[in-house]
Amino acid sequence: MEEGTPDPDKLHLLFGGDTMLGRRVNEAIRREGFTYPLEAVVATTRAADLFLVNLECAITPRDIQYSGPEKVFYFRADPVAAEVLTYAGVDLVSLANNHALDADYDGLRDTLQILDEKEILYVGAGVTREAAARPVFLEAKGMRLGVLAYCDHQRDFAAGIDRPGIRYVDLSDPDTITRLAREVEALARQVDHVIVAFHWQLNWVPRVSSFYRSLARRLVEAGARIVWGHSPHHFQGVEWIDGSVVLYATGGLVDDYRLVPEFRNDRQLLFQLLVSQQRVEQVRAYPLELKRSRTRAAAADARQWIAERFGQMCGDLGSRVEQQGQWLDVLPE
């Protein structure tokens, strides 16, 4: 097989982090076209059997903002932004995050409608609490996957009985983790593999805390095959738990965020997992650079920096990183 080409007998899953198509990214799309943000990596993204990202903006023609408590940042993209997702081969987006309602309730309704029109699945938000909590099912390579999505911040974005919003969970409530585990257990009985998307942890948190490691392990024990984390704005390490994997923070895929030198958030990763009927067989990461609202494969110096930092973060979690050409293999110790 060529470098980065997955085993054809395994399910090839690709996970991207925060995908923010508003502000200057939105302007670039209008100016340069919808291929602009991800054109340089589209061969990699479209090679996956399934490609999942965290959509960190509303997609709506309405130039409005959230009517609830004031926020610092509001991310809204024009409907053409959905073409970016289609072009890149995105199959599912997680909407359980702190920007899904940035264009208010009508903006979320528009987002859901536009995603439906593009035949892109979504999880973690909906027009009611029941819809926001509903799992989504995917099928590929003879395997059935179930996806749940949660967010542990932005309480006021929580969906209500008859109010659009996200699947917010209060992790300070000791009963919450038990309830989430039961949901994972119930879904695991219906599918081959459960994926839990979690918008968790604080922005710019440098390391994974014992609390989140304990939560991830509880989800895996309940039946999650993959725990897919995002929100801190930079990548963190990967933990193997038997045949399951925790991606604690998948960083960013597209954005226009300011550079934080300590974290070099212009240097990110795509995560490729190969999955059999029984387990996750392989985890690889592909180094990226994000510049001027555009994403490309990392140049040699950036790739080396990413490899060293990723290796340290994985080492903290009991895994190790080996470079294989442009890819980084993540192996259990």
Question: Mind listing the pLDDT tens digit of every residue in the chain (333 residues)?
Answer: 345 556 888 999 999 999 999 999 999 999 999 999 999 999 999 999 999 999 999 999 999 999 999 999 999 999 999 999 999 999 999 999 999 999 999 999 999 999 999 999 999 999 999 999 999 999 999 999 999 999 999 999 999 999 999 999 999 998 999 999 999 999 999 999 999 999 999 999 999 999 999 999 999 999 999 999 999 999 999 999 999 999 999 999 999 999 999 999 999 999 999 999 999 999 999 999 999 999 999 999 999 999 999 999 999 999 999 999 999 999 998
Rg of the chain on CA atoms, in Å: 18
Cα dist from 154 to 36, 101, 134, 169, 319, whole Å: 31, 10, 19, 9, 32
User: 3-class SS at 143?
Assistant: strand
CA angle (166, 213, 149) in 5-degree steps? 20
Two tokens, residue 222: 């309940």
Q: Which among 207, 203, 202, 246 has a CA at the least distance from the CA of 228?
A: 246
pLDDT at 5: 59
pTM of the model: 0.97
Main-chain dihedrals φ then ψ at residue 239, nearest 5 degrees: -120, 130
Share of the chain above pLDDT 70, in %: 98
What is d(CA 141, CA 154) in angstroms, rounded to the nearest whole number? Answer: 36
pLDDT at 1: 33
pLDDT at 2: 44
Q: Which domains does the chain have, with CATH numbers?
A: 11-332 (3.60.21.10)
CA neighbours closer than 13 Å in the CB half-sphere of residue 41: 30
102, 66 contact by CB (below 8 A): yes
Main-chain dihedrals φ then ψ at residue 193, nearest 5 degrees: -145, 140
pLDDT at 3: 55
289, 265 contact by CB (below 8 A): no
pLDDT at 9: 86
pLDDT at 7: 80
